[in-house]
Chains A and B, each alone.
Chain A
Amino acid sequence: MAEPLRPEEEDIALAAELALGLLEGDELAAARRRQLADPAFAAAVDRWVLDFAPLALGGVDAPVSAGLWQRIEARLPGEDQATVVALRRWRATAIATSAAAAVLLAILLLRPVPQPVVLPPPPVVVAQITGTGGAAFAARYDADAGMLHVRTEAMPTSRRAPELWVIPAGGKPVSLGLVAAQGNRDMAVTPAHRALLAEGATLAVTMEDAATAPHAGPSGPPVAAGKITIL
């Protein structure tokens, strides 16, 4: 280089390098860490993304195969949109979300992928909890108040009651108490349990004897489960 860049110039250039995808390996990892840790730097990266973005309008179009839409459509969440739409409304934010795909007990959740073109929403812990038997719950955690808001969207008919568990990654289920057979329930989360409501933990629902809840452990398999995601 003719002359070294000044520190503020280094930052400007680094933000652009990250926005353009010029970096590899350790340099890329370091820049991404900086982006997470330094809001001013992250804003500079966003700014570059927005500044460069219109260039794409100058690119040449390319035809797509006739069957591409069908392949996309086949991968959209199930046709039963009513539950998904209800879940979205209930989340009561303007944030569009991943729709749940009810596959066994593993559930898709919002991925906190950095989206450079929008401002990050305030962190909200959510989970969609669904199962193969048509059970569907949605959970939203208000960390400030220590309140977990759980809405029962659908549940199999049962004389037993739905009990909610949090399962830390690699850990044992811990009961958070009974949730409503239908509708909403706001549950105070004890301070000891709050730290369990973290990204990657699983929320699960089992059907239990209401009279003896909360239980030390579930008595049967979950009717629904989903991973926690932090928005």
Chain B
Amino acid sequence: MASPTPSAGDGARARLVHALGEVAGGDRKALKTVYDLTAAKLMGVCLRICQDREAAEDVMQEVYLKVWDRAGRFDASRASPITWLCTIARNTAIDWRRARGLGETAPVEAALDLPDGRPSAEALLEAGETRARIFDCLEALEEKPRGAIRAAFFHGRTYPELAAAAAVPLGTMKSWIRRGLLQLRGCLGDG
């Protein structure tokens, strides 16, 4: 995967953690560093949910303003910096969709059409991501729940949207996903 996200091993992760620390102290240049290291990755997150480039870039502005505000709350013991940033981007994009009214922007038929975006073990290592079990656990699910859960994650789709996209009754979609979620929790463990 060609990616401008941190890719120089521990060095890149450390640079990002360091830059976030400086952002917490009010350093604008450090925010630019964070931006340069992560914008393409976070734009991917936002664009998948917003389905509209202009909207995604509006959301991106909010994302980095949040990073500016919240950098001091980043806890490297709980998440890798890039996944922490992706979570902020995802939540901000989902909030934007909900504020706009759901379903307005999205070609829902595309909701289940996702690339198999499993990062390499090397990429995970480089990002400092230790919680990689989710990939194996998702892989172990049946195709329908797996696809629906991935669409929920990557596109920020709700139950009714997913049901419409898959042309199944709402109850069927809920059943697929809930069984899949329970199986995931069993696989991920309780700890």
Contacts and interface: CB of A to CB of B under 8 A. Distances in A.
Nearest to A73: B28
Contacts, number: 199
A164 B188 CA distance: 53
Given A24-B158, A117-B78, A54 B135 contact: yes
A26 interface: no
B35 to A, nearest CB: 6
Interface size class of A (residues with CB under 8 A): 35 or more
B23 interface: yes
A60 to B, nearest CB: 5
B153 A72 contact: no
Contact of A119 (B43, B75, B158, B182): B75
A75 B182 contact: no
Interface string A59-102: 11111110011011101100001001100100000111111000
B83 A53 contact: yes
Interface residues of B, number: 88
Nearest to A98: B69
Interface in A107-156: 110-111, 115-119, 121
Contact of B35 (A51, A61, A72): A72
Given A55-B135, A69-B35, A95 B90 contact: no
Given A81-B28, A118-B78, 9 more contacts: A2-B179, A5-B178, A52-B153, A54-B80, A54-B124, A60-B1, A69-B35, A71-B57, A117-B84
Interface of A: 1-2, 5, 9, 12-13, 16-17, 20-24, 49-65, 68-69, 71-73, 75-76, 81, 84-85, 88, 94-99, 110-111, 115-119, 121
7 contacts: A21-B152, A21-B156, A55-B153, A61-B4, A64-B43, A64-B57, A115-B73
